Structure formats: structure tokens, C-alpha cells
Chain A
Amino acid sequence: MQAFQFSKATTVDAAIGEGAPTGVKFVAGGTTLVDLMKLNVERPTTVIDINSLPLDKIEPTSEGGLKIGAMVRNSDLAHDPAVQQHYTVLSQALLSGASPQLRNMATTGGNLLQRTRCYYFRDTAYPCNKRKPGSGCSAIDGFHRIHAILGTSEHCIATNPSDMAVAMMALEATVHIKGAKGDRAVPLSEFYLVPGSTPERENVLAPGELITHVTLPKLPESARSYYLKRRDRASYEFALASAAVVATTQGNRLRHLRVALGGVGTKPWRSMEAEHALTGREATEKNFHAAAEAALRGAKPLHDNAFKVELAKRTLVRALKVVTQPA
């Protein structure tokens, strides 16, 4: 691991002030950053410890939603009574990811920024446009079973690995960011960038900007939500395909419906196509299949990951069935 200078920020303003220069990285849980520093994929010259920042609260908002501090640990968020009761999909997504030890470390802000598990990104022996812009993509012509089928480009097919962010996408979360130029609130749907020709840019954060908290809007009273994750083993594994669904039904018709897919996109993948196909329609298996077809219509599978198209459709259909089951 490359040596670095270390400092500890005790206020958000101090962190922002010190965090802007090139080569500076914030460390929170460390579960992504330290891992990638050992692989020489991340080579910061300065690391700023932000674990003392007062951003570790989960609080109700005045609009009836929830405010989640960026330093709230994944395990605390998953087991929070308000999250379990009103945002079930978020608790389920968090508990389906990583291990108890990692969830005790990983933070809300850090989880939003976790890097891809693409083998070629993680191995500096290979070209990778995300790690070294312009060097080429080793995955497209390589082994790409775990790679994305939605939002890909000729430059990058790396999958976003987060479960939490998929649930937050279906919950229409907003990311609150503080920087030298002030505060801004970015809808999570606009926070992530698809790779295009600049796969090294994964989100809209500018250097020195810090995620301070995430807000979730209040859901309709009768809303139900569910997260379903499919993977190679039953636990402690990244998704091959997952679906986060938030739904309200009236009679047998779907009213409020939000759908996001994980494990298949270059970013946590909100599927407006599936929502449009189903909203106002009856909760029937036939309609669920039509929505799943719509969600995957734009998929661009390659040789090894073609199975994900069908897997994602079945995952979404199953999630829609569960969430619309009569109580």
C-alpha cells in the first residue's frame, strides 16, 4: 500500500476545507477504501478520517420522512425501528449485503460511494477505463458474468454493487451534499452517472464535497415494500440480480409503484419503464411479466452475462408478487 498522510476532521467544514485537493480521500468505515488501497487501485496521498463528524443520527423530518446521517452504520440503519416499520425494503436490502462485521463498519454515505467489484477494475495488471481512463475495458472481451446489462457503454460494463442504494432508489431518496460552494440536495436518481465515455466519473460529487445525510420522503400510508436478491450463494455475496419494489394497491390495482433493479446496472437502476407498464393496472402475473419485459427491453447482454436478462425479469416478477400479496 502506498504511504499517505493522515488527519482527522472533527467538523464538517474542516473536512470540506481539507478534502478538496487532488489525492485526498475521506475514510469512514473503510470497507471499500482500505480494501482498494491494499490493491493499489486507490492511491490517496492524504486520508482524512471523518468518523468523528456529528452525522450519525436517524431522525424524522418535518414532512414525515426520515433523515439519515451519512455516518450512520449500515447495521444501525437496518435495525432502526422506523426503517424496519416504514421502509422495510431498505432494512431488507441492507441485511442482504455484506456481513455483520462489514455492516457494523460501513456507513450510509460510504455505501452510496462503494466501488464496483469488476475483477479487472480491482486488478492493476489489466487495462480498465474506470481506473485508468483511456486504457481500455478488459471486461467486454474478458469474463463478464457478474457485469452489467443496463446502462453500459463500449468503455465500461462494471456493475454498481450496492443493495442499499437500490432500495433508496425505489424510495426516491435525496442525497444532501455540502461543499465549499454551499449545500445542495440531489435526488438519488440524478446522483449516479452512467459510464458513457467517462467511466471514471461515477457520481456528481465534486472534489471536497461531502455527503452529510440522505432523506427519504414519507410513503403513502398503505405502501408495502420488498427487496429480493438473487446471488450465487445464500449469504455474503453480491447480487446477480435484485429488485426493490414499493407499491400501493387500491382494490387489485397498483397505484403508487416504484421499481429499482440491482446487480444488472452500471448504477442502481430505477425502472420507470416497469412503473409505467404497471401503474393503474391490475396486479396480475401477466401484467408483472409485461412490466419485467419493459424493464429489461434496453438490456445489452454479452456472452457470459446473458442469463441476467431472464434472471432479472424473474426476480422482478417474484418481488411484485410478494409485495402485492394480500396481507
Chain B
Amino acid sequence: MSDKRVPCPPNFPEMSEDKQESGIKTPPGVTRRSFLGRLGAAGIAATAAPLLAPADAQTSPAHETETGPLGAVPVTLKINGQEHSLQLEPRVTLLDALRENLQLPGTKKGCDHGQCGACTVHVNGRRVNSCLTFAIMHQGDEITTIEGLAKNGELHPVQAAFLEHDGFQCGYCTSGQIMSAAALLKEPCGQDDDSVRECMSGNICRCGAYTNIVAAVQSARRAA
């Protein structure tokens, strides 16, 4: 098991999101995500503009500046070994910076309040909830997301184990589950399944794929 090499499937782990056969034809060079995003914005503008306009005006940046001299500041983040120079407002969470500014949507936004674990990333090798920390607090930190877990075209053992044990259904919590489990391999945690359940309790799966998730985690721990 330990020396079993599993090649990355194309676009893993984003395969369920951008490249899945959905019946929607996207123009060449356009991902399903960006295409749907534009479609959605256009649709909303056409149908709901009168309803949304007042709310939009209330939350516009121009309005917010009335509370103080605020705005974006330079922030440098090291994600998956690569440095990125960004202009971010201090209130941008690490999660939002990854998804909205760095086009790394593998890290998911579930509850956005530290209760579901979908946003789990590694900061300096430790798993954290990226929704409960500001990006600007992580200059100089080594941040790893699901996009950086596979190395040299080979899946991380936890990714391979999730595929082998079918450790997901809808897949939305999966990147957080995998990031959590990958960190768990280096943490103190008992050998039995109950210990794994406790150590993985910060990651909620609404589909209830827990049985296979525990099997995948245990398989990866044995292989590690």
C-alpha cells in the first residue's frame, strides 16, 4: 500500500466542479465556473436589478468608507510554495482570499463560522479553519491548500485513500476532510476508529459519508 503510486486524475480535486459533465456547453477557454458565474450575474442583473439596487447601495465600498479611512493594502501570501502579491482589505478572510482573489476554489466555504471544516487548510503544517482568520495575518506563513497536496503528479496518500474507499458523496466537504486527515497523520490520535471520529469531528459531512471517510483515513494512516 505504501509504495502504491496513484496518478492524479485530470483536474483532481476540481473535477467534480469545473469539468464534470453537466450538460452545459462552455465556450472554448472558459471554465464551467467562470461561465456560470457570468451567466448568473447577467441573469440577476436582468431580472432583479430593481430589487437589489437599494441593498447594493447600502453595502457599496463608497458607503463603508464613511466609517473610516479604509481600503485595500498590499498582502503577500505564500500558497502551495508560491508567493502571491495581492491588494486586500484587512477584513478579507484567508478563505475568501483563496477563493476570490487567488482562484483556488478547492477550499470550500460551508458555514463560514468555523463549524463545518469545509475550509480547512494547513498553515505551517497545522490544520486550521481558513474562514476564521484574516489573510493579512498570514504573511510569511506556509499555506497549503488542497490544490497543493499532490506532489509531482502523484496524489497524497489521503487523496488516494478517499478515492479507493469512496470517502464522499456530493464532494463539497471532501477537500476539507482530506486536508484535515492529512494533518491528522502527524498528530497524536488513538489507533481505533472512535479516535479517528473524534479527531475528524471538526469536519461535517452532510451526506453522511462518515463510514467510508473513517475507512479512508484509517487506510491512509496504515500506509503512512
Contact = CB atoms under 8 A, between A and B. Distances in A.
A binds B: yes
Interface of A: 1-6, 27, 29-31, 34-35, 37-38, 45, 47, 49, 51, 75, 79, 98-102, 104-105, 234-236
B197 A100 contact: no
A40 B137 CA distance: 20
Interface stretch (B26-34, B36-44, B48-56, B109-117): B109-117
B84 interface: no
The 10 closest A-B pairs by CB, nearest first: A99-B202, A6-B90, A235-B201, A3-B70, A236-B201, A104-B126, A34-B132, A101-B202, A30-B133, A101-B129
Contact of B91 (A1, A99, A101): A1
A37 B134 CA distance: 11
Given A100-B184, A235-B198, A3 B133 contact: no
A99 B117 contact: yes
A79 B199 CA distance: 13
A30 B128 CA distance: 11
Contact of A5 (B70, B128, B132, B188): B70
B147 interface: no
B58 interface: no
Contacts of A27: 134, 137
A38 B202 contact: no
B137 A51 contact: yes
Contact of A101 (B90, B93, B180): B180
Contact of B73 (A6, A51, A104, A105): A6
Interface of B: 64-65, 67-70, 73, 89-91, 93, 112-114, 117, 120, 126-129, 131-134, 136-137, 180, 183-184, 187-188, 197-199, 201-203
Contacts, number: 94
Nearest to A35: B113
A5 B201 CA distance: 34
B133 A34 contact: yes
B184 A38 contact: no
B148 to A, nearest CB: 18
Given A99-B117, A101-B180, A105-B132, 17 more contacts: A3-B89, A6-B134, A6-B136, A27-B134, A34-B131, A34-B132, A45-B68, A49-B136, A99-B202, A99-B203, A100-B127, A101-B114, A101-B117, A101-B127, A101-B202, A102-B129, A105-B129
Nearest to B189: A100
Contacts of B128: 101, 104-105
B134, B188, B199 pick with most chain A CB within 10 angstroms? B134
A51 B140 CA distance: 12
A20 B188 CA distance: 40
B108 to A, nearest CB: 14
Contact of B67 (A29, A45, A234): A45
A2 B65 CA distance: 10
Contacts of B188: 79
A64 to B, nearest CB: 26
Contact of B127 (A98, A104, A234): A104
B67 A38 contact: no
A123 B113 CA distance: 14
B185 to A, nearest CB: 12
A105 B133 contact: yes
B90 A47 contact: yes
23 contacts: A3-B65, A5-B90, A27-B134, A30-B137, A31-B114, A34-B93, A34-B132, A45-B67, A47-B90, A47-B134, A49-B134, A49-B136, A51-B137, A99-B117, A100-B183, A100-B184, A100-B187, A101-B127, A102-B129, A102-B202, A104-B126, A105-B128, A234-B198
Contacts of B187: 100
A47 B135 CA distance: 13
A149 B127 CA distance: 36
A104 B120 CA distance: 11
A3 B69 CA distance: 9
B132 A100 contact: no
Contacts of B129: 31, 101-102, 105
Contacts of B89: 3
Contact of A102 (B65, B91, B114, B198): B114
Nearest to B70: A3
Given A101-B202, A105-B129, A5 B68 contact: yes
Contacts of A3: 64-65, 67-68, 70, 89-91
B45 to A, nearest CB: 25
A109 to B, nearest CB: 16
B132 A4 contact: no
Nearest to B198: A235
B89, B129, B136, B187 pick with most chain A CB within 10 angstroms? B129
A27 B133 CA distance: 9
B201 A2 contact: no
A5 B70 CA distance: 7
Contacts of A49: 134, 136-137
Nearest to B199: A100
Contacts of B203: 99
Contacts of B93: 34
